[in-house]
Amino acid sequence: MNMIFKTLLPAAVLALAATAQAQTLRIGLAEDPDALDPTTARTFVGRIVFSALCDKLVDIDEKLNIVPQLATSWQWSADNKALTMKLRNDVVFHDGEKFDAAAVKFNIERHKTFTGSNRSGELRPVTSVDVVDPTTVRLNLSAPFSPLMAALADRAGMMVSPKAAAAAGANFAAKPVCAGPYRFVERVAQDRIVFERFPQYWNKGAIHFDRITYTPIPDATVRLANLRSGQLDFIERVASSDMAALKNDSRLKVTRITEIGYQGITINIGKSDKAQGNPLGRDARVREAFELSLDREGLVQVVMDGEATAGNQWVAPSNAFYAKSQPIPKRDVAKAKALLAAAGVPNPSFTLMTPTTSDAQKVAQVVQAMAKEAGFDVKIQATEFATSLNLADKGDYEAYVLAWSGRADPDGNIFSFVGCKQPLNYAGICVPEVDEQLNIARTAGSMDARVKAYEQVAARIVKDRPIVYLYHRNWLYAHSARLSGIRSIPDGLLRVQGLKMN
């Protein structure tokens, strides 16, 4: 890919460049997104891009409250099996088509039925959608569904133009048409994504840049160098080791947000034949030994310079849904060796696939060194991120360093990853008892009932280890000191509404 940072330019040239691009917001991404279609997309960086392209029915705020966006208000039925939403009447898609209740019906049904959809599990309880009138839509459910509003605050709630989506079919991602503040101009894989301001945006008073350019730069050092040289205005996922030095740079500012997701290692235990081709996927004792070879607090310090919280579940220990009955295990190399001996594989070997981003590769290297002390031979396979997701989807891997950016409701961190035949279940796990408890947690009306159900899920998942959860990061972002309006929302996404260059 094209690294835009080459050498530091003379100050006069930089000043001229800054003037020429004064109306362009230049954002550095840690990865190149996958498909720019909210129905099929899977990547965190894709969600950053979607924030400027595709408005949602609702959004979340700094305290994870659900707030209006394309829907102005909503009401549940008495039995919590129908959600009625009132919609804005001044919204048009980027192709000029009007946004209305019929468009919502089209989008929800597309999310549920489109081939390759990664939203179908998030909307599974929605059985039908009624167009009450042009600005009123009703979602009918088979049972109460606590996570629905949180799902609608993410890609399941993003609205695309029905006309454009129907015409493009499977090629919609090549030229997406939504109803957000910016419309699609071009994309060059591994190089850039370019948007321009949409003049008919319903909230156009909050938009202050003419264009946005997203540049994927997996190397955190190169990403930061481009920011420092003035070629970028904002970068996501600063290397934690650079945080101290950034505090002394008056030209830049840092934003720190505690994430609601996790960093973990997904293990192929049933996705494909590769599950049985290596001892890690084949034997639960080997997976337990692997976990016991790891020092999570050590990982937090070495990989994240303390900018994370150790964890062993899909939510952090401070989260109300964390199962306290399943605490973080301490590192125990002696026990790990004993388990490997009992399994008949004192020196197991497996390949750990990792994205090419700096932080993911660092995780792999530290894990490799720690596990070696227990007898593991870990081979690292660095793979471009979108390619790694495709390999995981096919089951063409043994273990995979994979982070999840997190959702406001815990269901978004667990259901699609361990539910039987769910779209993000890269581990290939299927336990009917787990599915039963996941569905109880989805339909339960009380917090206590949901906590109890998730405790049952944790008891089995912590034992089976389809994912070895490691820690919960701080989102570390850096940007020009002149850029204002950045909001610290725990999903880690950059909202472009209100952003200004002072």
Q: Does the domain at residues 262-473 carry the CATH identifier 2.20.25.10?
A: no
The angle at the Cα of 309, spanning 305 to 312, to the nearest 5 degrees, equals: 125
In angstroms, the Cα distances linking 19 to 25, 156, 206, 221, 314 are 12, 39, 22, 25, 45
CATH number for the domain formed by residue range(s) 58-162 = 3.90.76.10
Assess whether pLDDT exceeds 90 at residue 21: no
What values do phi and psi take at 378, rounded to 5? -100, 120
User: What are the residues facing 71 on neighbouring strands?
Assistant: 87
Assess whether pLDDT exceeds 70 at residue 178: yes
359-378 tens-digit pLDDT: 999 999 999 999 999 999 99
Segment 211-225 shows an average pLDDT of 97
At residue 348, the pLDDT reads: 98
Indicate the pLDDT class of residue 429, thresholds 50, 70 and 90: very high
The residue with tokens 């709630």 is 157
Closest by CA position to 468, among listed 317, 251, 313, 240: 313
Indicate the pLDDT class of residue 76, thresholds 50, 70 and 90: very high
Segment 48-72 shows an average pLDDT of 97
Helix ranges (H only) for 59-130 are: 101-113
Which residues fall within 8 angstroms of residue 324, CB to CB, at 6 or more apart? none
Lowest average pLDDT, out of 45-59, 235-249, 336-350, goes to 235-249
Domain 11-54+180-251+481-501 identical in fold to domain 58-162: no
Taking the C-alpha atoms of residue 486 and residue 492, their distance in angstroms, rounded to an integer, is: 11
Closest by CA position to 163, among listed 175, 153, 155: 175
Closest by CA position to 360, among listed 391, 392, 382, 328: 382
At residue 4, the pLDDT reads: 52
Task: Kindly state the tokens that stand for 127.
Answer: 């059985």
Q: Where are the domains of the chain?
A: 11-54+180-251+481-501, 58-162, 262-473
Taking the C-alpha atoms of residue 354 and residue 373, their distance in angstroms, rounded to an integer, is: 21
309-330 tens-digit pLDDT: 999 999 999 999 999 999 999 9
Superfamily of domain 11-54+180-251+481-501: Periplasmic binding protein-like II (3.40.190.10)
The proportion of the chain whose per-residue pLDDT surpasses 70, expressed as a percent, equals: 96
What values do phi and psi take at 126, rounded to 5? -75, 115
At residue 258, the pLDDT reads: 83
Task: Kindly state the tokens that stand for 35.
Answer: 């498909």
Assess whether pLDDT exceeds 70 at residue 15: no
Assess whether pLDDT exceeds 70 at residue 17: no
Tell me which amino acid residue 85 is: M
